[in-house]
A and B are shown apart, each in its own frame.
Chain A
Amino acid sequence: DAQVVQSGGGWVQPGGSLRLSCAASGFTFTDYYVDWVRQAPGKGLEWIGRTRNKANYYTMEYAASVKGRFSISRDDSRTSVYLQMNSLKTEDTAVYFCSRSPKYDDNALGFWGQGTLVTVSS
């Protein structure tokens, strides 16, 4: 069965950096879009960005709130996607989810990771 497993996260001071990982189990990310979504404490879901699949040249798009600070990348083995977060602010504190598209719709968020908590605080 296809699964998405997340790792990384933790506590970081404002201005610091952190990298989150999203690993594929039972498939490779080559043919799928991968999105990052976060949920701040007591708030709703917020889209952060996505990387398209190989057929769409792995192009990336980001929300205005993180553009220039966060970046998404993939590894050569096509089994992991990363979210590099720089210049972190206290308002970036949230549970971060990665999600893979299902085969039937590139724009759906079909397979979600378990989420990982990022706390930005001094």
Chain B
Amino acid sequence: QSVLTQPPSASGTPGQTVTISCSGSSSNIGSTYVYWYQHLPGTAPRLLIYRNNQRPSGVPDRFSASRSGASASLAVSGLRSEDEGDYYCAAWDEDLGGRLFGAGTKLTVL
């Protein structure tokens, strides 16, 4: 069972904005950086966000993220059909001494 809690699913129509939440604790999100990964069917995962809210080169600015306390969120604006896939938050856990992934949120573009 993941210690980082994400909703199992999210959906929106093209052009809409969808937000995915990630809830943790003081030993992970509350004290370390949050990362977000996109995993599209049949591909390797892709780094979307690092250090809470930074986008790597090549990631569109439609993807944004924030962290507040022990929770974080990823927003996808201007939703497109190619955004359909699984989205994972991740953070290092100081107590466990390891990296945690959320269970993932399946994003559907209606």
Contacts and interface: CB of A to CB of B under 8 A. Distances in A.
Contacts of B35: 107-109
A63 B39 contact: no
A76 interface: no
Interface string B10-47: 00000000000000000000000101010100001111
B51 A105 contact: yes
Contacts of B102: 44
Interface stretch (A9-17, A22-30, A77-85, A111-119): A111-119
B99 A35 contact: yes
Contacts of A105: 33, 50-51
Given A61-B98, A108-B50, A45 B39 contact: yes
A112 B45 CA distance: 7
Contact of B33 (A35, A61, A64, A107): A107
A97 B46 CA distance: 12
Range, interface on chain A: 20 to 34
A79 B100 CA distance: 27
Given A44-B86, A61-B97, A97-B44, A104 B50 contact: yes
Contacts of A104: 50, 56
Contact of B46 (A49, A63, A112): A112
Nearest to A110: B47
A58 interface: no
Given A108-B47, A112-B44, A44 B98 contact: no
Contacts of A114: 44
9 contacts: A44-B102, A62-B98, A63-B98, A64-B98, A97-B44, A97-B45, A107-B33, A107-B92, A108-B51
Interface of B: 2, 33, 35, 37, 39, 44-47, 50-51, 56, 86, 88, 90, 92, 96-104
